[in-house]
Amino acid sequence: MKMSALFAPTLKENPTEAEVISHSLMLRAGMIRQLSSGIYSILPLGLRSLEKIMNIVRRELNRADGQELLLPALQPGELWKETGRWDIYGPELIRFQDRRERDFCLGPTHEEVITDIARKEIRSYRQLPLLLYQIQTKFRDEIRPRFGVMRSREFIMKDLYSFDRDYEGLQVSYQKMYDAYSKIFTACGLEYIAVKADSGVIGGDISHEFLIIADSGEEKVMKCPKCLAASTQEMSQCPVCHADMEEKRGIEVGHIFQLGTKYSESMKAYFVDQDGKEKPLIMGCYGIGIGRTMAAAIEANHDENGIKWPWNIAPYEIIVIPVNLKNYASVELAENVSQQLVSEGYEVIWDDRDVSAGYKFKEADLIGFPIQIIIGEKALKNSILEIKIRSNGKRLDCTREQLIAMIKKLKDDLTIHLQE
């Protein structure tokens, strides 16, 4: 695609309303625009990154025997009253009445809805275990929306629910999801820590948070450099190896819960076990904030010039920048290089705009393309292309004939630790 055709309304200055770097850079890079307090439109670059994260999530959950469905955002209040959460949840729950004066809410989470399906459809232990998930828009009337898509009133989330016949089965499902989350965040190219956490209004006995390590993180995390034991300060514990803990900061992007029978008992979701007795379903729930993951990736990967996307979640992988657009040979070479890379399966933008080279370089850094291919005088005189790696700033030279092999090696280097 040509840069002139890309809808990416970039900003030169830092927006005054942005409180954190991810919010500022997402606005400046033309990824999002605010519609109202805590409500954002996701523009093409932002959506491409979100979709890549969602595809990674789907891949790992499907490998772990998850099955995707889609539940209504609009939920009847009577379900929430069955579990008692209609009164417990507080003003963050967006409530209203329809024309018949029946209570409804916009779902911030879907335990009640999925349990209603389970109590109607799961009859026998032979149907268990079962892992059902969705990726959907959620709603929460935050008292103070802030930090862009990190704490908004409308957000995209993945939520998975497990159903088992006993607590031993729950442990298996819980470990499956713990492992899947580890693979998801690794595949996104992010450093993470999993820590024991409080279950809050979701409920249940055991839960873990998954935090992306970033200096700007809201949560303080204590981590052992030897045995890798970690916990939040609120749930601080001594590591088994008795080494001194290191303090890090993290951004919560995922949370998993062992719910037990909290919802199945209150909503009478029972099944008939092998012994012929009726028993409550044993449940777990597992959430990932998709938009929060994208924002956390920026918090963890940026510099003073802009975003430094991990390869697997970058909106586009490569930008081709001809320095002199008035030189026909330069333009032709840029087009040919772009077409060659696209034919090899790469996601490429070539900057065809009649603006200064310096402006192009600044925008390429701001948007965060993992690789920049610069077509300057060396390319025209000596057939030498210059490659800039955004993550570390290194520059390499290669001939046109070496280009595809070089890009493949760079991709392998930038994604070498990922699970494909």
Mean pLDDT of 340-354: 97
Classified as helix, coil or strand, 58 is: helix
- Considering the domain boundaries, does residue 419 fall inside one? no
Least confident among 78-87, 200-209, 253-262, 292-301: 200-209
pLDDT in tens, 156-165: 999 999 999 9
Distance CA 111, CA 347 (A): 38
Phi-psi region at 200: left, alpha or beta (left = phi > 0; alpha = psi -120 to 50): left
The length of the chain in residues reads 420
Q: 241 and 326: one domain?
A: no
Q: Which residues contact 130 (CB under 8 A, 6 or more apart)?
A: 67, 118, 122, 162, 163
Short-list 62, 39, 348, CA closest to 177: 62
Domain stop point among 303, 329, 364: 303
Name the band, by pLDDT with cuts 50, 70 and 90, for residue 330. very high
Distance CA 420, CA 405 (A): 20
Domain interval for residue 205: 3-303
Percentage of the chain exceeding pLDDT 90? 83
pLDDT attached to residue 241: 74
pLDDT higher than 70, residue 396: yes
Q: 213 and 103: one domain?
A: yes
Distance CA 296, CA 315 (A): 15
pLDDT higher than 70, residue 417: no
Q: 184 and 253: one domain?
A: yes
- Considering the domain boundaries, does residue 309 fall inside one? no
Q: 246 and 98: one domain?
A: yes
Strand partners, 350: 2, 320
Percentage of the chain exceeding pLDDT 70? 95
Name the band, by pLDDT with cuts 50, 70 and 90, for residue 176. very high
Q: 166 and 219: one domain?
A: yes
Cβ proximity of 110 and 159 under 8 Å: yes
pLDDT in tens, 46-101: 999 999 999 999 999 999 999 999 999 999 999 999 999 999 999 999 999 999 99
Q: 252 and 325: one domain?
A: no
Q: 180 and 237: one domain?
A: yes
Q: 272 and 349: one domain?
A: no
pLDDT attached to residue 197: 79
Helix axes 290-300, 44-63, angle to 10 degrees: 110
pLDDT in tens, 177-196: 999 999 999 999 999 999 98
Name the band, by pLDDT with cuts 50, 70 and 90, for residue 224. confident
Phi-psi region at 145: left, alpha or beta (left = phi > 0; alpha = psi -120 to 50): beta
Q: 138 and 284: one domain?
A: yes
Phi, psi of 255 (to 5 degrees): -150, 130
Q: Which residues contact 195 (CB under 8 A, 6 or more apart)?
A: 208, 209, 211, 221, 230, 231, 232, 235
- Considering the domain boundaries, does residue 310 fall inside one? no
Q: 271 and 403: one domain?
A: no
Average pLDDT along the chain: 93
Distance CA 30, CA 360 (A): 15
Name the band, by pLDDT with cuts 50, 70 and 90, for residue 245. confident
Domain stop point among 270, 303, 336: 303
Name the band, by pLDDT with cuts 50, 70 and 90, for residue 230. confident
Q: How many domains in the chain? A: 2
What residue type is assigned to position 406 of the chain?
M
Distance CA 103, CA 360 (A): 53
pLDDT attached to residue 419: 45
Q: 320 and 299: one domain?
A: no
Strand partners, 208: 196, 256
Name the band, by pLDDT with cuts 50, 70 and 90, for residue 235. low
CATH code of residue 363: 3.40.50.800
Name the band, by pLDDT with cuts 50, 70 and 90, for residue 202. low
Distance CA 197, CA 256 (A): 9
Q: 219 and 327: one domain?
A: no
What residue type is assigned to position 369 of the chain?
F
pLDDT in tens, 261-287: 999 999 999 999 999 999 999 999 999
Distance CA 257, CA 67 (A): 18
pLDDT attached to residue 378: 84
Distance CA 237, CA 110 (A): 32
pLDDT higher than 70, residue 253: yes
pLDDT in tens, 6-46: 999 999 999 998 989 999 999 999 999 999 999 999 999 99
Domain stop point among 271, 303, 335: 303
Name the band, by pLDDT with cuts 50, 70 and 90, for residue 199. low
Nearest 10 degrees: Cα torsion 70, 73, 79, 84: 120
Classified as helix, coil or strand, 52 is: helix
Mean pLDDT of 237-256: 84
pLDDT higher than 90, residue 289: yes
pLDDT attached to residue 379: 81
Distance CA 387, CA 201 (A): 50
